[in-house]
Structure 1
Amino acid sequence: MDRVRDSALKAVYEVLEKGAFTNIAVNNLLKEANFSPLERRFITEIVYGTVKNKNSIEWIMKIFVSKKKIDPWINYILLTGIYQLIYLDKVPVSAACNESVNLAKKYGNPGSVKFVNGVLRNIARNQDEISFPDINEDPVMHISVVYSHPQWLVRRWVEEYGVKDTITLCKHNNSKSPNTIRVNTLKVDIEDLKENLLNKDISVKKTLYAPEGLEIEKFEQIDKIESFIQGLFIMQDEASMLVARCLSPAVGSTVVDACAAPGSKTTHLAQLTEDKSNILAFDIHSHKLKLIEQNARRLGVMSIQVQKQEAQRLGDLYERQIDYLLLDVPCSGLGVLRRRADLRWKKNQQQIKELAKLQSEIIEGASRCLKLGGTLVYSTCTMAHEENHDVVNMFLKKNKNYRFDSLLPYIPTRLALDPDLSYTAEKGFMQILPQRHNMDGFFISRIIRES
């Protein structure tokens, strides 16, 4: 039996059956066994591909399977097998079918072995007969099935962006996310790190917008790269790198990162202030505080103090004591679906409403820690207006002593070339859209406390 496909199947089972995070399931699996670089890539491809394309694969399976109740293991064997048949051109049909049958022998019974063999070979013979919902008759159903996103989310995006832009967004989410890193300029120059990585035969290019960003390829394990171990960089999406720059704290100031874990933005704030400010990093989970400490230690950052505390209480604890406040609040994460393969299947409209309530509580409670003239940046990695514009607009409506402050001085010139984004950025907020800017979808707003 193929141990690579067996491992991929176990990871898919963990994600879709038990609710594990895809990245954690894959990383744990790859740490447990000695796989070659090619095997690691194949496992990752099967797991991420199957999870992301679940809707499409299940639609195809329903065309060829009349059986309503299928054992979970057999179901996931079929899902991974169909993914290989439909999406992986380099995998021979015989390999996809035969290895799936071998997995059915391990996890099923003689009847399920025949069932898996029959279904996959039937699909392989009749791929040309697979049809999807007509886009003209039902665009939401069409996009949901063909581009594998939940209907409620597709319907929402079609209403906001239209059919064409929604398809572009879904395609973006289904594509492979780039490996973007933020250079730790406290330790190394950008060009020096770039040369260092190139000398290790790692492909490197500069990111389009973030000045400290690089995109790297052709490496096996990020934590095995020498310059990573030395703390010369940290993994961070390009849009995420813009958040700390929009706060732009001054050297020697007191800064709060209220929802700080895992510390990528916190350490960026330290980097921007030359590690010469007093940065207080808060989170409500002890294990997440340890992640901040680990990242700070590896990067050589000394100016961060971590504390376990609810963001809502910071106004009471530090009233009018803080110069800069970062509120990168918990959110639905709809802007990071390219990176988080399983997330689209775990969210719903009700969760957005509940999160918006929490976010409003956080900005109301934490904002009072700012000194007069202090600066607040509110950010999320989602495009849901209920969590973004609605939260900050409601806050400003209730608190007349706070106002928007233009983002234009703090964002890359190239990003400001987008007229729609530039228009709102001048007012004090911006929405980065994955389908338009090829980054994670982030909302960022900058607010000043006047009195």
Structure 2
Amino acid sequence: MDRLYPAHFEAIAEALGNIFTADAYADREIARVLKADKRRGSKDRAFIAEQTYEVVRNYRLLRHLAGGGKPKKREDFWRLIGIQLHLQGRELPAWREFGIIDAADIQAKLAAAQQDRALRESIPDWLDAVGEAQLGAQWTPTLAALNEQAPVVLRANRLKTTPAELSVALARENVVTTPIAADALLVTERQNLFTTKAFQQGLFEVQDFSSQQAAPSLEVSPGQTVIDACAGAGGKSLHLAALLENRGQLISLDIHGWKLEELKKRARRNGVSNLETRAITSSKVIKRLAGRADRVLLDVPCSGLGVLRRNPDAKWKLSQDFIDRVVIEQAEILSSYSRMVKPGGKLVYATCSILPRENDEQVAAFLGSPAGEGWTLEHQHTFLPQVEGYDGFFLARLVKG
């Protein structure tokens, strides 16, 4: 987008105000702002979304460069936007809303900020301390990678197409992709993918490369009974259905019934026919499935630190108390839900976190507990954004003896 329009900045400032003063979630707030004016073109919408996310991602640093105060008024957020654009090398229009932006002062403050990791990477001090304590020397490069813009990756739906066929179909709709592994295609030019015919026909799902490793790691075979026990809206359930070739029984569980309703819609679009959803309304739901499953996927609730690039506002919403509570919840789920696996069956424990406390340490604690008796660890891996290039993610495959 070459020309800058005041209305776009008004939309960005409105979204930022709600994110930081009304505790709104960035993705929902951006979607709301974009829907408010349907006259905007795709480039305008992309500019609003990307600049909003950039300010959220660099919020602490931008506040520091702006003078350190907490933004409260419309003008305060306009100033943050202006400084962000200045850092991107854009020439700012002479609009009074931007106020006076002293380039020399900003550059001097920016140079000094490079010596402070938490400030440089725009993250709360407490979270920086947690990361360093957990990851040691890996934390600095991991944090830097988590502050970059997330790539857009698609998963070809093998029930309807192949990656090569999907790439051709998308090219006809001016969506440029490149294959990266298995069913994954990297989108090299950003645009609204959900309006494409390919998406509406169920030929693909948007799913990060790291997340795409969870379902294959379960090593399913057509005809098996497979349970996705923390299914959410079901991206991994849909992947499992494709790997099962629509054969066998796929049961998707979640405590939120509305998420399962969304999964049903996605399953119909994807051509999935072997899926059954069950809301976890009590512990009886899990008990009734004891010893039934050949495979169980546990994509458990977590801190989400591996997907900060995708959800940068999480940096400002997370707390030490939340991480402490979610670690307890993970242990309880692993201990209880693992009972659904039959002897000789396999379980994959997964998180979108990078903290050992939520990952390999959690698995080790389970194996050393009474609930883990008879289980063995077959494989585990932590995906780091600076290594694989995609979301931070963890998975471990366990076998029940």
Common fold: TM-score over 0.5:
yes
Partner of 1:443: 394
User: Which residue is 1:395 aligned to?
Assistant: 366
State which of 12, 15, 25 in structure 1 corresponds to 2:19: 15
Q: Tell me which moved more, 217-226 or 350-359.
A: 217-226
Maintained 8 Å contact 1:313/1:366? no
Secondary structure of the structure 1 residue equivalent to 2:276: strand
AA paired with 1:389?
A: D
- Deviation by residue 1:83-128 (Cα, 9 ceiling, x = unmatched): 2222x213x23x2x51xx34xxxxxxxxxxxxx62xx33x235334
Could you tell me the TM-score, scaled by structure 2's length? 0.92
User: Structure 1 residues 397 and 252 mapped into 2: Cα distance closer, same or farther (>3 Å)?
Assistant: same
Letter in 2 for 1:55: R
1:83 maps to a residue whose letter is Q
Aligned 8 A contact 2:131 2:355 in 1: no
Whole-angstrom distance in 1 between the partners of 2:191 and 2:71:
36
Q: Secondary structure at the match of 1:200?
A: coil
Match of 2:109 in 1: 130
Structure 1 position 280 matched with structure 2 position 251: yes
Consecutive unaligned residues of structure 1, counting only runs of 5 or more, are 103-115, 407-427
The structural deviation recorded for 1:440 is 0.9
Q: Which runs of 5+ in 2 are unaligned?
A: none
Q: Does residue 53 of the first structure (1) align with residue 62 of the second (2)? A: no
Task: Please name the residue that 1:74 is paired with.
Answer: 75
Q: Is the 8 A contact 2:26 2:311 kept in 1?
A: yes
Amino acid corresponding to residue 202 of structure 1 in structure 2: V
Query: 1:340 aligns to what?
Result: 311
* 1:257-314 alpha-carbon deviations (Å, 9 max, x no partner): 1110111100111100101121111111122112211211111111111111069655
User: After the TM superposition, which residues 416-427 of structure 1 pair with which residues of structure 2 at under 5 Å, given as runs?
Assistant: none
Seq. identity, %: 28
* Among 111, 118, 121, the residue aligned to 1:144: 118
Shift of 1:160: 4.4
Task: Quote how far apart the aligned CAs of 1:372 are.
Answer: 1.1
Choose which of 9, 17, 25 in structure 2 pairs with 1:5: 9
C-alpha contact 2:151 2:390 (8 A) present in aligned 1: no
- Pick closer, same or farther for the CA change 1:128–1:181 going to 2, 3 Å: closer
Does the aligned pair in 2 maintain the 1:252–1:273 contact within 8 Å? yes
Q: Deviation string for 1:186-220 (max 9, x for gaps)?
A: 1012211111112322211012xx40000113353
Question: Secondary structure in 2 aligned to 1:126?
Answer: helix
What is the aligned length? 395
Structure 2 vs 1, CA of residues 239 and 53 (structure 1 numbering), >3 Å: closer, same or farther? same
Shift, 1:70, TM fit: 5.9
Secondary structure of the residue aligned to 2:294 is: strand
| Distance in 1, Cα, partners of 2:207 & 2:20 | 26
Q: CA RMSD in A?
A: 2.1
TM alignment of 1:161-176, pairs within 5 A: 161-162=135-136, 165-176=138-149
Provide closer, same or farther for how the CA distance between residues 133 and 402 of structure 1 changes in structure 2, counting only shifts above 3 A: farther
Aligned partner letter, 2:10: D
- The separation in 2 between residues aligned to 1:391 and 1:127, in whole angstroms, is 44
**Counterpart residue number, 1:181:** 154
Instruction: Work out the CA distance in 2 between the residues paired with 1:133 and 1:311.
Output: 54
Contact map agreement 1:431 1:444 (CA 8 A) in 2: yes
The SS at the match of 1:387 is: coil
**Contact 1:330 1:355 survives alignment (8 Å):** yes
1:404/1:445 contact within 8 Å kept: no
Change over 3 Å in CA distance of 1:363–1:313 after alignment to 2 = farther
- 1:186 & 1:290 partners in 2: Cα distance? 21
Distance in 2 between the 1:38 and 1:131 partners?
30
Q: Is 1:89 matched up with 2:94?
A: no
- Work out whether residues 258 and 311 of structure 1, in 8 Å CA contact, stay in contact via their aligned partners in 2: no
Asked if structure 1 preserves the Cα contact closer than 8 Å seen for 2:157 and 2:204, the reply is yes
Matched-pair contact (CA < 8 Å) for 2:15–2:52: yes
CA contact (8 A) 1:312 1:365 kept: no
Describe the SS at the equivalent of 1:436. Answer: coil
Whether the 8 Å CA contact 1:240–1:442 is kept in 2: the answer is yes
TM-superposed deviation, 1:225: 0.9
Q: Tell me, in whole angstroms, the C-alpha distance in 1 between the residues paired with 2:166 and 2:365.
A: 44
Contact 2:178 2:188 in 1 (8 A): no
For 2:376, the aligned partner's letter is F
Aligned to 1:197: 170
- Which structure would you say has the larger Rg? 1
- Output one character per residue of 1:164-189: Cα deviation in whole Å (capped at 9) or x when no partner: x4332233222221110000011012
Corresponding residue number in structure 1 for 2:348:
377
Counterparts in 2 of 1:338 and 1:400: CA distance versus 1, 3 Å: closer
Q: TM-score under structure 1 normalisation?
A: 0.82
Q: Is 1:294 aligned with 2:298?
A: no
CA displacement at 1:147 relative to structure 2: 1.6
- Matching residue's letter, 1:153: L
3-state SS, counterpart of residue 368 of structure 2: helix
Q: Which residue of 1 aligns with 2:223?
A: 252
Q: 1:385 to 1:128 in 2, by over 3 A?
A: closer
Asked if the contact 2:42–2:192 (Cα under 8 Å) also holds between the matched residues in 1, the reply is no
Between the aligned partners of 2:372 and 2:313, the Cα distance in structure 1 is 40
For 1:342 and 1:70, locate their aligned partners in 2 and report how far apart those are by CA, in whole Å. 15
